[in-house]
Amino acid sequence: MLTDRLASWLFIVGMFFTGFGVPAIAAGADDHALVAKGEYLAKAGDCIACHTDPGGALFAGGRALPTPFGTIYSSNITPDAATGIGNWSADDFYQAMHEGRFPDGGLIYPVMPYASYTKVTRADSDALFAYLRSVPPVNRPNRPNDLQFPYNNRQLILGWRTLYFNVGEYQPDATKSAEWNRGAYLVQGLGHCAMCHSPINALGGTPESRAFQGGLIPMQNWYAPSLTSNKEAGLGEWSIDEIVGLLRTGVSHRGAVYGPMAEVTFNSLQYLSDADVRAMAIYLKSLAAGTPPGPESSGVSSSESSLLMSLGQTVYQARCVICHGSDGSGLPPDYPPLAGNPSIQMESAVNPIRMVLNGGFPPGTGGNPEPYGMPPFAQTLSDDEVAAVVTYIRAAWGNQGTAVSASQANALRKVPLD
């Protein structure tokens, strides 16, 4: 249901701004300032990721968004009067953002993350609308969705909304700092981070009580780790500077981002202000503050697992040690550490298996323009060898991950890269 999304952003000093958006534009300020504010917010919300088809015109829609219920095609949000939002008013746009409804009151499928966007202030919505009206109009009719029965009946969205949608702008927590509230506004609102980093049930929804607790991204087969547990990606044990570095550049001395999160960093996070990224880091760190690092005993104990560990060590010494070191310490930030890395030890082994099979690069960003990558081993390692080396790195050097089977490696070998 997602093309993948994690964050958004600009720090505000004090509590006298418009909601928790970018500082209010003063009366009489020209349209350029409002449009510039909206452009920043569009990057904060990673709008390009869904509304721009690869190789297509900016925001002209048509990108296929696979879901468990069928394929939804993103809409044209350029100011074209016939096929885009050229006839919309600012009220219409706010209604779409805040209530998940078209100008005529029709229901929008929740592949648009309006469950998060409802938290966005009216001032920020108006700025975003002003920016979208400034981009070149593109005449491109919206492509009909290809949804299975009965999900092609929009009235069913009423049930989903009853269970999982609560209308309302972000309300600041008076017990927290202005920075914390700014970070919460960005992460919970335009950033729509919970859309990936939360478990999604068979109805395509997430109970509010399970927000940010991690889950497999449907149709993409990447695991978005929990932000509330230090056993996964919880950042409670990271320094603020380490978190800022990861968000802004895609790499830090603690680890690196790959897969869908790399896209978020490339399209969105690298463009945010220093103050906004710091505010997000403060909020994200608080989500996992005080949580235990995980169980003390490893699940690698059976005879089969022992064989995997032995084979895995052999594969690691032959293929991995040159970059990640015999002790798993790596050469950060270029080659991330494996020892003590929570992303290696999560209950789900999907991400490390995919990295061994397919390799990958962190995003090229202003702060890390020439990232070091990892080569793919799908063509050179068997399923048994992939399972063995992943099992080894999940349990060596004091790591507490469980064993991985060859069948798990084989299943992910068949997953499309995109």
Q: What is the pLDDT of residues 254-294, one digit of tens each?
A: 889 999 999 999 999 999 999 999 999 999 999 987 665 55
Single-letter amino acid, residue 369: P
Dihedral sign for Cα atoms in the order 252, 255, 258, 263? negative
CATH of domain 303-413: 1.10.760.10
Q: Are strands 215-216 and 146-147 parallel, antiparallel or unpaired?
A: unpaired
Q: What is the dihedral of CA 252, 257, 261, 266, to 10 degrees?
A: 70
Percentage with pLDDT > 70 across the chain: 88
Per-residue pLDDT tens digits for 243-260: 999 999 999 988 899 999
169 neighbors 118 (Cβ within 8 angstroms)? yes
* Position with higher pLDDT, 416 vs 401: 401
Q: How confident is the model at residue 300 (pLDDT cuts 50, 70, 90)?
A: very low
Query: Of 235, 404, 230, 176, whose CA–CA distance to 308 is shortest?
Result: 404
For the chain, give every domain's residue range: 1-294, 303-413
Q: Which residue has the tokens 């930030």?
A: 333
Per-residue pLDDT tens digits for 366-400: 999 999 999 999 999 999 999 999 999 999 999 98
pLDDT score of 301 more than 70? no
Per DSSP, 215 falls in state E
Q: Please give the distance of CA 23 from its chain centroid, rounded to a whole number.
A: 25
Per-residue pLDDT tens digits for 31-58: 899 999 999 999 999 999 999 999 999 9
Q: How far apart are CA 154 and CA 145, in angstroms?
A: 11
111 neighbors 182 (Cβ within 8 angstroms)? no
Per-residue pLDDT tens digits for 198-255: 998 888 888 888 999 999 998 888 999 999 987 787 788 899 999 999 999 999 988 8
Least confident range from 206-215, 290-299, 332-341: namely 290-299
Per-residue pLDDT tens digits for 6-19: 333 333 323 323 33
Q: Roughly what angle, to the nearest 10 degrees, separates helices 178-188 and 274-287?
A: 90
Task: List Cα–Cα distances, 152 to 2, 148, 149, 391, 417, in angstroms.
Answer: 18, 6, 6, 42, 27
- pLDDT on residue 416: 64
pTM: 0.86
61 neighbors 51 (Cβ within 8 angstroms)? yes
Strand partners, 141: none
Give the three-class secondary structure for 66.
strand
Instruction: Give per-residue burial for 62-83: e unless 16+ CB within 10 Å, then b.
Output: bbebbbebeebbbbbbbbbeeb
Task: List Cα–Cα distances, 144 to 64, 71, 81, in angstroms.
Answer: 11, 9, 18
